[in-house]
């Protein structure tokens, strides 16, 4: 079976020009990009403009085929938005964002100008994506702005307007993917932020989802920011996120490890619940490098979460500190696990 193309776009939200350039080279450069694309947004663009994009995202990196998502969220009168499209067209972005709430005339003006510039410059036309409802917003935020609707209802309304106005797709929350696929069809691009790998902090994303869940529902691309660019090794983080999506096999799963999860921002039971269906093996150990029951980790809520998600695989004891001796560790660890799982 042919593997899927890498769906991950790394969102780089910074004004640090040199840091962005190093990161883009690391995850997007030769010999093979670790991501499907790079997203540079308003913060970076206002700080450095087109020259900054050319510097941080140079031709040798672009030559690898990595995509370029210019996330400016344009929103103004039709003529001004068309002028904005014209101004950035020579940067040859793969995608540009525009607020669907700007109205039909604004959206059509942007579509027409994108086509005109592609013909004039002899480049591929930038695909336009409508911004529907920001993933940082929930219903209370919409009501505060005068929109008395659920986020999912407003997303469908604005996505329909974007499609009918000629846009190529939309930005949407993971939780609207299924409804949008049904309404807008298989070829409509769904660029999905709010993606947080298992164990990651949701930060300001109120409607987040894991990469596996989002792609399985029908997302075209995933925007992953902080879990990649704040990782100790951004390239490895990007490759790990993409790997499970590119291997189209139900046997390709992850392993959860108690000691490793103890360093994450989320409680271990929450990580287990969010990983339902994604893991096939479980390591029981403690932060003190000893077996379960030899440290401060309470395995009772962990056992309850494993039961809740229907996990029926192996729970193995992994130990790095053998001060008590292997027989004592094995005996007491198994006795402890039997009690908490009873």
Residue 255's beta-bridge partner residues? 281
Assigned token pair, 139: 């219903």
Nearest to 117 by CA among 125, 105, 128: 125
Assigned token pair, 66: 């990595």
Q: Angle 234-246/17-28 helices, nearest 10 degrees?
A: 40
Cα distances (angstroms) measured from residue 31 to each of 6, 40, 43, 66, 339: 15, 22, 29, 11, 51
CA angle 166, 115, 191 (to 5 degrees): 50
Give the Cβ contact number of residue 61 at 10 Å.
Answer: 20
**What distance in Å separates the CA atoms of residue 171 and residue 129, rounded to the nearest whole number?**
6
> What are the residue numbers of the active site?
73
Q: Can you tell me whether residue 22 is helix, strand or coil?
A: helix
Residue 170's beta-bridge partner residues? 130, 190
Residue 38's beta-bridge partner residues? 10, 68
Residue 104: partners with Cβ closer than 8 Å, 6 or more residues away: 161, 164, 165
Nearest to 306 by CA among 331, 333, 275: 275
**What distance in Å separates the CA atoms of residue 139 and residue 191, rounded to the nearest whole number?**
21
Residue 189 dihedral angles phi and psi, to the nearest 5°: -75, 130
**What distance in Å separates the CA atoms of residue 225 and residue 228, rounded to the nearest whole number?**
6
């Amino acid at each position: 079976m042919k593997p899927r193309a890498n769906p991950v776009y790394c969102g780089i939200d910074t004004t640090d020009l040199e840091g962005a350039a190093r990161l883009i080279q690391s995850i997007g450069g030769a010999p093979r990009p670790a991501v499907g694309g790079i997203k540079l947004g308003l913060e970076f663009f206002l700080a450095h403009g087109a020259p900054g994009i050319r510097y941080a995202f140079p031709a040798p990196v672009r030559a690898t085929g990595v995509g370029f998502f210019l996330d400016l969220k344009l929103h103004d009168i039709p003529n001004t938005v068309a002028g904005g499209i014209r101004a950035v067209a020579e940067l040859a972005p793969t995608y540009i964002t525009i607020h669907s709430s700007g109205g039909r005339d604004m959206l059509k003006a942007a579509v027409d100008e994108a086509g005109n510039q592609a013909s004039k410059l002899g480049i591929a036309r930038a695909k336009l994506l409508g911004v529907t409802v920001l993933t940082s917003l929930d219903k209370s935020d919409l009501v505060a702005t005068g929109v008395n609707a659920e986020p999912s209802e407003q997303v469908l309304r604005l996505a329909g307007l974007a499609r009918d106005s000629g846009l190529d797709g939309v930005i949407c929350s993971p939780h609207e993917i299924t409804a949008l696929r049904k309404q807008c069809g298989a070829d409509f691009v769904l660029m999905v932020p709010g993606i947080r790998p298992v164990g990651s902090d949701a930060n300001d994303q109120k409607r987040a989802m894991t990469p596996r869940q989002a792609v399985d529902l029908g997302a075209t691309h995933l925007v992953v920011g902080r879990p990649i660019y704040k990782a100790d090794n951004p390239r490895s983080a990007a490759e790990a996120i993409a790997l499970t999506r590119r291997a189209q096999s139900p046997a390709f799963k992850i392993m959860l490890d108690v000691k490793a999860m103890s360093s994450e921002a989320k409680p271990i039971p929450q990580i287990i619940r969010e990983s339902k269906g994604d893991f096939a093996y479980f390591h029981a150990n403690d932060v003190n490098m000893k077996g379960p029951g030899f440290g401060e980790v309470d395995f009772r809520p962990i056992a309850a979460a494993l039961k809740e998600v229907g996990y029926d695989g192996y729970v193995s004891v992994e130990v790095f500190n053998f001060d008590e001796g292997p027989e004592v560790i094995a005996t007491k660890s198994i006795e402890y696990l039997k009690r908490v799982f009873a």
